[in-house]
Amino acid sequence: MTPIPDDLIRHLQQVRHLVIFTGAGVSAESGIPTFRDAQTGLWAKYRPEQLASPEGFHADPQTVWDWYAWRREKCLAAEPNAAHLAIAELERRLPRVTLITQNVDGLHQRAGSSAPLELHGNIHHLKCFACRRDGGDWPDDVRTIPRCRCGGRMRPAVVWFGESLPETVLGAAAEASQHTDLFLSIGTSSLVYPAAELPFLAKRHGAFVVEINPQPTPLSARADLCLQGAAGEVMAALLATNT
């Protein structure tokens, strides 16, 4: 089991408000490929912008819809891993935890996390491409794109290239990051802004910032502690210290 430094154990025991920030590395341990890794086989001939942009959907809505239907099936077939489960358990044990995720797969909720701040949306939900009205869940028959009552086509409720992160969610994430005393950045490359700014924001406001990732990232030099390893292994070890 991964050794957890005494300094982190002490911070976890004394924490008043823990912020956990997760990225694609957490989902990868459940077998969910990253966006570009998923562009294999039938999808290899498309550019990312063709499959995940408003312009791509406007030009060829059926192809984009089929791509997301395929990706959603991959998410539904995956199971929460040890990192998801440890995070959900920490939420139950600690006085205040804010979970912020860049992932759209819904695995945090399936592991037991109640209300993650989903910066990039959720692949299991829909919204109208025209009026942006909430479209609820996907239909049972995913072959045909459903229509909104305004007549517009439904699309996955995820953030595409060229779109801004949802203001209310990003605002809540920034607020939490400014008022945390312990910030865990787990499985994220720290390259995609504005989400990547959150651990630096926490650091500027006095938080103890911990990075958990297999490889160094731009955050590594600024974090108070870097634990190199798989998210599931490190988080299981960290949970074991909080008994």
What pTM did the predictor assign?
0.95
d(CA 153, CA 78): 28
pLDDT per residue over 110-137, tens digit each? 999 999 999 999 999 999 999 999 999 9
Per-residue pLDDT at 105 exceeds 80: yes
Catalytic positions, written as ranges: 120
d(CA 185, CA 161): 23
Residue 10 burial (CB count, 10 A): 12
- Which domains does the chain carry? 1-31+80-120+165-243 (3.40.50.1220), 33-77+121-158 (3.30.1600.10)
Is the peptide bond prior to 194 cis by the omega test (within 30 degrees of 0)?
Answer: yes
The answer to whether the beta carbons of residues 220 and 211 sit under 8 Å apart is: yes
More confident residue, 59 or 190: 59
The answer to whether the beta carbons of residues 203 and 222 sit under 8 Å apart is: yes
Name the residue type at position 228: Q
Mean pLDDT of all residues in 179-193: 94
**What is the pLDDT confidence band of residue 1, given thresholds at 50, 70 and 90?**
low
For the chain, give the mean pLDDT: 95
Predicted local confidence at residue 221, as pLDDT: 96
